[in-house]
Structure formats: structure tokens, C-alpha cells
Chain A
Amino acid sequence: MATTYELIESYTVPNSTTYGVTIGSGGTIPGIYTDLILQINGRCNRSGSDGDDLLVRVNGVTTGSIYKNRRLYANGPSASGSDGQSGVNTAYIGTVASNDQTGSAFGICTFYFPSYAGSLAKLMNSKGSAPNFGGNLAQTMGYFRAGTTSAITSIFIAPWNGTYWIEGSAFYLYGIKNA
């Protein structure tokens, strides 16, 4: 049976000084898969909120206003709002736990990049939640579009409001093959 779901790389933050993580530095995400999944079990040092959003860039592109994103978000049991941006130089998407979450809970965030090596603009779907053991919850669903026709060969992720990832935050990049 063909292997259709494969771990490409994983990384665990060793100490609480890491601001950003680049997976595929030097453009080394291989283009041999159909889709990519990036799983983050993350917690950052933001305070005053249950969760934090993420800053995402692909291929090191920080200029050109190529990103567009939309989010539905909630704090607590019900959806509470939506927002989005167009023509910006970073995607603002996803959710991980803030440092306010009790029990050292880590957030769970999944990004799905279909046809990441194709020649069309790149899309990404995200689901993120920052649960804790006291009942509070921050969560988002969203998508982003990167207006690049190049294959995605690196992904940069940082907390949006927080300054750094908490030690133990983990990143897993998987490749998906359709056969």
C-alpha cells in the first residue's frame, strides 16, 4: 500500500526565546507531494487573551501585498465575529494558546495547503483552537490566499501578538500524496 501521508519534518521549540519558525529554510520543502498539512501544538507568551493569532508567510515573501485572509472567530461557546484583510504582506490566521491558558495547555492549529506545488495562486485552510481546563476557549476557522504562482518551498510562522513561542511548542509538516 502506497504511503500517502508522510512526516516531512518536525520541530519542537527548545526554549522560550523563539520568535519565528521557518520550515523549509532555503526553499527545501520538497515538491513531490499533492498537498501539505502543517500541524502546530503551540503556546505563546501573549497575555490578556485566551489565544493568539498567527503571522504566516510563504517563501519568505514580505513585500508585494500578496496575501488575503478571512477568519471566523470565537471566544467562548459561540461564534463572535469575522474579519479579514486583502492586499497585505502577511497572513493573519490560525489560533494557538496564549500564556493565560491554565494547566499549561497548548493550542491546536492545523493548516492545509492543497496543490502547494502547482502553478496557480496558493490557498490554505486553517482551523485553530486554544482550549483550557477552565472552560475558556478561543478558536478560529479561516482561509488565506497567497498570490504567488511559485511552489511553496518554505513557511514562516510567528505569534501575532506574542513575542515568542513557549518551550515545547511543536510543529509538524506532513506531505499528502493522492496515490
Chain B
Amino acid sequence: MTSELTISEINCTTGEVIERPLNSEEIAQREADIATFAAEQAEREAELASKAAAKASAEAKLTALGLTPEEIAALR
């Protein structure tokens, strides 16, 4: 897809539809949105990894205390 990206604007009063290329402000906003999303995605993934590590650590400690896998699963 090499065509220029567009915005479609639908006027609810007249029914007029305008399909036009993104203007410079919209391109800048889109780039800012992409950067924001990447940062938030990294934050979410780090949080998930942290939770997974804490869970594995807790399960290892429970195993060391003598709990079976079934008993550990029952605690979830």
C-alpha cells in the first residue's frame, strides 16, 4: 500500500462526505499517537512480565514448602 493515507469526514447535517489526505497537523498527531502507544505497550508488557516473574517465584516457594502442583493450582 503506497497510496497516501486519507481521512474521511462525514457531515451529519448535509450527508456530504469529504475524503482527503491527512494534513500536517494530523500527521503530527498520528506520529505522536504511535509514540505514545509504543511507550504504553512497553509499560504494559513490563507489568505483565513482572507479574509472571512474581507468580513463578511464589510457586517455587510454595513447592519448596511441600505443596503439590494441584494444591498450588487450587490457591489460584
Residues of B within 8 A of A8 (CB): 12
Are A25 and B18 in contact, CB atoms less than 8 angstroms apart?
yes
Of the candidates B8, B13, B22, which one forms a contact with A21 in the assembled complex, judged by CB atoms under 8 Å apart?
B8
The secondary structure that dominates the B interface is mixed
Cα A25 to Cα B37 with chains together (Å): 25
0/1 interface trace, chain B 35-71, chain A, CB 8 Å (1 if under)? 0110010001000100000000000000000000000
Cα A89 to Cα B21 with chains together (Å): 22
**Does chain B have a CB within 8 A of A29?**
yes
Residues of A within 8 A of B7 (CB): 18-22
Residue on A with the closest CB to B30? A19
**Does chain B have a CB within 8 A of A104?**
no
Which of A9-17, A111-119, A131-139 is the interface stretch?
Answer: A9-17
A92 CB to nearest B CB, Å: 8
Cα A108 to Cα B22 with chains together (Å): 26
Residue on A with the closest CB to B16? A25
Residue on A with the closest CB to B44? A83
Are A25 and B5 in contact, CB atoms less than 8 angstroms apart?
no
Residues of B within 8 A of A9 (CB): 10, 12, 15
- Range class of the A interface residue count: 35 or more
Inter-chain residue pair count (beta carbon < 8 A): 77
**Does chain A have a CB within 8 A of B33?**
yes
Residues of A within 8 A of B26 (CB): 20
Are B8 and A11 in contact, CB atoms less than 8 angstroms apart?
yes
Are B6 and A17 in contact, CB atoms less than 8 angstroms apart?
yes
Are B3 and A23 in contact, CB atoms less than 8 angstroms apart?
no
> Interface size on B (CB < 8 Å)?
27
Are A164 and B33 in contact, CB atoms less than 8 angstroms apart?
no
Cα A23 to Cα B9 with chains together (Å): 6
Of the candidates B8, B30, B36, which one forms a contact with A18 in the assembled complex, judged by CB atoms under 8 Å apart?
B8
Residues of A within 8 A of B24 (CB): none
Supposing A11-B17, A19-B5, A45-B1 touch, asked if A25 and B22 sit within 8 A by C-beta, the answer is no
A176 CB to nearest B CB, Å: 15
Are B12 and A23 in contact, CB atoms less than 8 angstroms apart?
yes
Cα A29 to Cα B25 with chains together (Å): 23
Are B37 and A30 in contact, CB atoms less than 8 angstroms apart?
no
Cα A67 to Cα B15 with chains together (Å): 28
Lowest 7 A-B CB distances belong to which pairs? A25-B9, A28-B12, A19-B5, A28-B13, A17-B3, A22-B9, A9-B12
